[in-house]
Structure 1
């Protein structure tokens, strides 16, 4: 039974290009299934190796396509995220924080430009996980080609979307719940009050995961998200030693 359902979930994911609601509708209606041989690695919600961390989500992924070492999801993780268009000081803070934590935790992020890319890049000598919003054969953004190559070979990249799926705008806030589920705590380096970063924060709060923030400078009116989060109860990171309590 599980093998047939596994094949069905794969086919529905391919038919719907990974859209969660469309897969759910096909499962409910017992839509016709075509057996195929998929050229990449994947795990479905009916498989015994499906990570337990995703079962706590309101909308657990039906299927996860991946490249790399799937066992990384069994280790303790810290998510480090923030603005795509970040300041140089935010990038430097990302490096400092990642270097401090990467020997104790798998570093989790979203393979976006800016903060995410820096967190992944700084942890290539340890362990890092990236969640993307497109098919694994699509490199987005293009400037992360080297990261994709290194992480797919020696680390772990995951997506709900099968090969050839384009990086559509709604995919990225949707994948943020996976970042939240796979980490033990979240660190926000820099963010706007209205941003995808805040969506990940909300997902972490839904899962009762602690959120840590680097405060922004008083004169930085563009990135006030961290200060707002700190005002509303997030843990503040003032100096490197604050990270030792994680």
Structure 2
């Protein structure tokens, strides 16, 4: 009797959007029985968010015609014969899913014209999308010496994983004096007299955000006459790679907020 076994493998244990959005899948089919099997058809099932890449399908390393309705026609296999089907799939980087799953369903006929079906294992590939952005704004585009300038920073974690040990940095111009009691993290007031060394924001969950606001007094007019201000964060994120947690670091920088200073009594 002819009996088919089917196994599925992927060329990566997780996908990192921004580095690559392609996965190469292989299906290994073996006739473990002692008779030929016929009319072998492979239906490969990709989860939502991924699609087959035309022109990548191979059978034992040889290019094969394109898929029709996700069906691959194999024909027959003799006893102890094995074949390898490979193809590439891609994930939409603009709206990536949290993971991609893939399995194969093989149907065939034995020598007694019995219709048989066997399924492969399901391969689940996490899709990691690290996207942390900072948006900085200032309440005054023009100010004079002695005025108070207010800054607002929105930190948004658009990733599908949490970021941890988030450190916030903001290097103020020498012409600005931070008002210690003006600092807010979210709606919580802080007393911070310097941003040197950064501020620990803890964890920002996936698809969540946090805000920081503060005020500074203009001490004098800089040369040139525009004060620029940029914020940044660095952070950690953890990915499970075949059951083993792997921690990496990342960093993000905001846009530049600018204020023109019109007059002064001194120069910085």
TM-score by length of 2: 0.20
TM-score, structure 1 normalization: 0.21
Q: If each structure's helix is expressed as a fraction of its own residues, which one has the higher value? A: 1
**Higher radius of gyration, 1 or 2:** 2
